[in-house]
Amino acid sequence: MTQPTITETKIVHADATALGVFGLALVTFVASTQKLGWTTGSVYLMPWSLLLGSLAQIWAAGIDFKRNSYFGAIVLGAFGLFWAAVTLHWGIANGWFGAVPANADPRQFGWACFGFLIFSVFITVAAFEANKVFGVILVLILVLLGSLGLQLLGVNPDVFGQLAAWAEFFIALLGFYAAGAIFLNTFFGRTLLPLGKPMGWVKKGG
């Protein structure tokens, strides 16, 4: 009896990390200009926060889940959802969904920043075991989230507002470098732009 022929199909997904990191870099770059006073308002920030900050990172996270890239999937997914929520927050504040209720309390955004700050502490540990550039970006994200949260709660808003603004600006610059480095290194199959070796503080099991 003839044995049936078994054909296996392997679906290969390209590394989408560069796109996700570029999305983070672009949205923080644009958003930082508002915090630094170079631009005003949040209306025209929303297209970038929705498409680059949110959708690009969530899409890249979906690809990383399929590639079993645990770090990229979780980090890009978490911050993609963060920017989706920020976009909705700005949309509500700008009256895109009708009049803002009288009991609306923007300080809740501050507490959300603290929640992401707590989670980002764990991400930072792993980031330094990915590469040094990611590690520094996450340290700046900790500064951004903590400062923004305190500003939104009314704690010395001038100081913490400026600290958040500059942290976000430097996240963007490092993000552009990381996205470009990942893209070129992956495309050429060798290291053209270094990201820095893992710190080696924590050894992986198994």
Q: Is residue 100 part of a domain?
A: no
Q: Is residue 90 part of a domain?
A: yes
Give the number of domains in the chain: 1
Q: Which of 29-33, 73-77, 97-101, 106-110 has the lowest mean pLDDT?
A: 97-101
Q: Which domain holds residue 80?
A: 17-94+107-188
Q: Is residue 76 part of a domain?
A: yes
Cβ-based neighbour number of residue 178 at 10 Å? 23
β-partners of residue 98 are 96
Instruction: Kindly report the CATH number assigned to the domain that includes residue 135.
Output: 1.25.40
Q: Is residue 11 part of a domain?
A: no
Q: Is residue 201 part of a domain?
A: no
Q: Is residue 179 part of a domain?
A: yes
β-partners of residue 96 are 98
Q: Which helix (H) or strand (E) holds 32?
A: helix 17-35
Token representation of residue 150: 């305190």
Q: Is residue 184 part of a domain?
A: yes
**What does the pLDDT read at residue 10?**
58
Give pLDDT tens digits for 17-74: 999 999 999 999 999 999 999 999 999 999 999 999 999 999 999 999 999 999 999 9
The pTM for the full model equals: 0.92
Tell me the C-alpha distance between 12 and 102, whole Å: 51
3-state helix, strand, coil in the chain (%, to 5): 70, 0, 30
Q: Is residue 28 part of a domain?
A: yes
Q: Which of 4-13, 31-40, 85-94, 161-170 has the lowest mean pLDDT?
A: 4-13
pLDDT of residue 167 exceeding 80 = yes
